[in-house]
Amino acid sequence: MTTFPRHEYDPEIGRRIGELNRKPGDSRSIADYEALGAPLGPAETWDLDIEDRTIPGPGPKIPVRVYRPAGSAPAPRPCLVWLHGGAWVGGDLDMPEAHETARGVAGRADAVVVSVDYRLCSEDVHFPAPHDDVMAAYRWVRDNAPALGVDPTRIALGGASAGGNLAAGATLHLRDEGEAPWQALLLYPLVHAPIPGASDELAAALTHVPAPLLMVNEQLDMVSALMLGGDPIESASVYVFPGHAEDLTGFPPTYIDNDEFDSLRSSGERFTEQLRAAGVEVEQVLSAGVLHGHLNIVGLDAAHVTLDRMAFRLRRG
């Protein structure tokens, strides 16, 4: 990936950021920031069969949503097991990062997408609950591939933000057990704690982002404490932050998509370096002009480009 000193947003995102920055700091509300994610256009339409169901899990049954292109296929289709983000404590199957991403990839790639509603962390639910749900969902897809119309040799595992973290951790675990996914698709993932230091180029870009839109290590510490049930990050399993694995050899081919104006970009860039050093095939791209979580904005051109890239990864195999 080539980085460059762009330092300007996608035009519509830039307009919204400009309006936000013109407000006095003490008058900005949560609604002001939520407006950044308002749709920029209509949702895409695809001819898909979409089914909500529950599957067996290590704890409660796991809700999943299965997206299949309508009509028959001459051969089993590739599949993506997909995980939404939400800082491990939020998100669901209806958020754009889950629903619109799954629809867009299934339609573009003529692939089956299984979106997973893993358990969210709370005062009563901690790691490894979400990790275990992801492992169970991946194995359910693999074991039920014929019924799903899926090629069992072409099952990818992917996610965005916290979902990218869970996808990377589960991929590492599956590798350790000799059943690594076909490939991993990691969208603006966080796989290190603390967050790696930013490059000079990234640091310059981040000066243009309002502080409440950036994740910093203090916030990560708070979220991680909830995720880990109060245990220190240093004691966490390597499957929690797989960027700290000593050996990444055997990790499957990986696609990493980083957002330009995102403090977590340094984690995606560092993980790319680590995977390449381990001899893993990695495609890293920079989604220019966007903030963290760009797949959550319906109608955003950069989101469509990302869906095109993800679909290409699934089709080419």
Catalytic residues: 161, 262, 292
d(CA 301, CA 33): 20
d(CA 13, CA 52): 33
Of the candidates 168, 167, 187, the one whose C-alpha atom is nearest the C-alpha of residue 248 is: 168
Provide the pairing of β-strand 77-83 with 282-291: unpaired
Cβ pair 85, 163 in contact under 8 A: yes
Tokens of 148: 């799903």
At what angle are helices 99-109 and 301-316 packed, to 10 degrees? 50
Of the candidates 84, 283, 277, the one whose C-alpha atom is nearest the C-alpha of residue 164 is: 84
Count of C-beta atoms within a 10 Å radius of residue 75: 7
